[in-house]
Amino acid sequence: MGRRINKLNPVVAALTGFLLAMPVMASDTGDTNDVSALLAELQKPDQDGWQRLERQITRAWSRSGSASADLLLQRGREAMRNGQTAQALEHFTALIDHAPEFAEGYHARATAWFMDGKLGRALDDLRATLAYNPDHFSALAGLGRIFEDLRDFERARAAYRAAATIHPHRADVKTALDRLDKRLDGTAL
């Protein structure tokens, strides 16, 4: 698997420096030009087909380039759907061992850690996700959620803002930003 350095947009770059302090590299797991074009389309404020674009991006990010790694991701996700978090963690850990530069493996395991109540481990895996894929809007939203749960509202807002910069259509991120803006800035009377 080849490696390349991804360019960060200014908001993600600032957040990455603020939260991650890790080198930023991405695995070459597909046609990054296609994903870049999809991300550019997703950012358009009047984008009516954003759900389709989101699915296409997520599918592209879920392809590792290795049939065995893709199978481990699939099995881990099935275990999560069936409420088998420990089994999912085993699959995702094996996936990361097999494909250590595959961002989606870390993101999937972060979700499992979060579901298991292990927020520190989830944060570590979200940081790794963003080190390999700085455009991962779901990982940024996940960071926001964890920081909000930890009552670190400034970091939560920064993470949600970074997610919204990449994917401005997610209702959960918009709602979280409204909630945090009211909490941190107060409401106008």
CATH number (domain holding residue 103): 1.25.40.10
Backbone angles phi, psi at 186, to 5 degrees: 80, 170
Report, as an integer, the average pLDDT of 92-105: 97
Q: Say what the pLDDT of residue 12 is.
A: 40
Residue 97 has pLDDT above 50, yes or no: yes
Distance, CA of 174 to CA of 189 (rounded, Å): 21
Distance, CA of 61 to CA of 104 (rounded, Å): 6
Among left, alpha and beta (phi > 0; psi -120 to 50; other), residue 86 is: alpha
More confident residue, 10 or 45: 45
Residue 45 included in any domain: no
Residue 1 included in any domain: no
Query: What pTM value is reported for the model?
Result: 0.81
Residue 167 included in any domain: yes
**In the structure, what pLDDT confidence band is assigned to residue 31 with cuts at 50, 70 and 90?**
low
* Residue-range definition of the domain harbouring residue 58: 10-23+32-40+50-183
Task: Quote the number of domains for the chain.
Answer: 1
Give the percent of the chain with pLDDT over 90: 77
Residue 171 included in any domain: yes
Residue 111 included in any domain: yes
More confident residue, 30 or 50: 50
**In the structure, what pLDDT confidence band is assigned to residue 48 with cuts at 50, 70 and 90?**
confident
Report, as an integer, the average pLDDT of 7-35: 44
Nearest one of 41, 44, 45 to 53, comparing CA atoms: 41
- Considering only the C-alpha atoms of the chain, give the largest distance between any 2 of them, rounded to a whole number of Å: 57
Tens of pLDDT, residue by residue over 81-93, are 999 999 999 999 9
